[in-house]
């Protein structure tokens, strides 16, 4: 029976892979909406995938979120030379435990790697943004981030994320009116994958993803299926680590 279950997951992996034209899909059993254990399995799968692709002297950029925080929890020493962890973008208005900085430091400590953090007020006005990106210290870390070799990121439901980040009322209204369903890196997407809103911050911008070889999305749960689909409509990451419940909804449409 176990063999049957495993082969069922393999079928799902291939179907999702075909659907979004991805390089690699990993599906863990269960539904992260119902069980924290399943989210922990996503974390473990991510760590083991990372170990397979990581080389000496690589930089790994990570986002925040509860899923990424479980990736950090599962992290073990990477046994590679000069691995640097950086947050992918600013705090995006998240609580400390969900912020990329926090998770980045935790991951690096468990991996026995180095880390560098990004200190910017966040979200930030256009005017302040233009001047802060000229600060030498900010420029230096931004540069490390933009040249990351590997990106690990979460995907969230648009409204869940907007509310969690205490997004101002007018912006929230716009995300709703424009039918935002998914969110990643502070960008909000509608069903067709179009960007409907973006949080202004330093660090990784959507266009930077194109030149990064390993962009690994980690997201599961039935509730995230539409969000995952909206994000992958424009094919922005090459690896997806998800769970059975989300994968089933993704392939059934």
Interface with ligand BG6 (CB under 6 A): 63-67, 92, 94, 98, 153-156, 161, 183-185
Residue located via tokens 């981030």 = 145
Q: How far is the CB of 91 from ligand BG6 (least distance, A)?
A: 9
Question: How far is residue 82's CA from residue 65's CA, in Å, rounded to a whole number?
Answer: 25
Q: How far is the CB of 185 from ligand BG6 (least distance, A)?
A: 5
Question: How far is residue 106's CA from residue 127's CA, in Å, rounded to a whole number?
Answer: 32
Q: How far is the CB of 158 from ligand BG6 (least distance, A)?
A: 9
Q: How far is the CB of 17 from ligand BG6 (least distance, A)?
A: 21
Chain CA centroid to CA 127, Å: 27
| Closest to ligand BG6 by CB, 113 or 186 | 186
| Closest to ligand BG6 by CB, 41 or 183 | 183
Question: How far is residue 183's CA from residue 48's CA, in Å, rounded to a whole number?
Answer: 25
Question: How far is residue 196's CA from residue 177's CA, in Å, rounded to a whole number?
Answer: 10
| Closest to ligand BG6 by CB, 22 or 159 | 159
CB atoms under 10 Å from CB of 77, counted, come to 9
| Closest to ligand BG6 by CB, 139 or 198 | 198
Question: How far is residue 251's CA from residue 22's CA, in Å, rounded to a whole number?
Answer: 14
Q: How far is the CB of 98 from ligand BG6 (least distance, A)?
A: 5
* Closest residue to ligand BG6, based on beta-carbon distance: 65
Residue 187 tokens, joined: 């960008």
| Closest to ligand BG6 by CB, 99 or 214 | 99
């Amino acid at each position: 029976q176990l063999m049957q279950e495993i082969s069922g997951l393999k079928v799902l992996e291939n179907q999702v892979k075909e659907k979004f034209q991805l390089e690699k899909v990993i599906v863990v059993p269960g539904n992260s909406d119902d069980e924290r254990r399943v989210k922990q399995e996503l974390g473990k799968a991510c760590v083991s995938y990372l170990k397979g692709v990581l080389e000496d002297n690589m930089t790994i950029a990570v986002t925040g979120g509860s899923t990424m925080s479980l990736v950090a929890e599962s992290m073990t020493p990477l046994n590679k030379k000069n691995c640097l962890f950086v947050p992918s973008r600013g705090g995006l208005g998240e609580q400390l435990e969900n912020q990329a900085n926090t998770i980045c430091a935790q991951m690096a400590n468990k991996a026995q790697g180095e880390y560098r953090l990004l200190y910017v007020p966040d979200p930030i006005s256009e005017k302040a943004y233009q001047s802060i990106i000229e600060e030498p210290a900010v420029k230096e870390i931004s540069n490390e981030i933009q040249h990351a070799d590997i990106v690990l990121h979460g995907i969230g439901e648009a409204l869940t994320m907007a509310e969690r980040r205490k997004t101002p009322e007018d912006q929230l209204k716009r995300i709703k009116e424009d039918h935002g369903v998914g969110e990643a890196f502070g960008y909000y997407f509608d069903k067709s994958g179009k960007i409907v809103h973006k949080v202004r911050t330093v660090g990784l911008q959507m266009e930077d993803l194109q030149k990064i070889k390993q962009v690994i999305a980690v997201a599961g749960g039935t509730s995230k299926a539409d969000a995952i689909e909206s994000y992958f409509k424009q094919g922005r990451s090459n690896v997806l680590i998800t769970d059975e419940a989300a994968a089933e909804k993704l392939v059934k449409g």
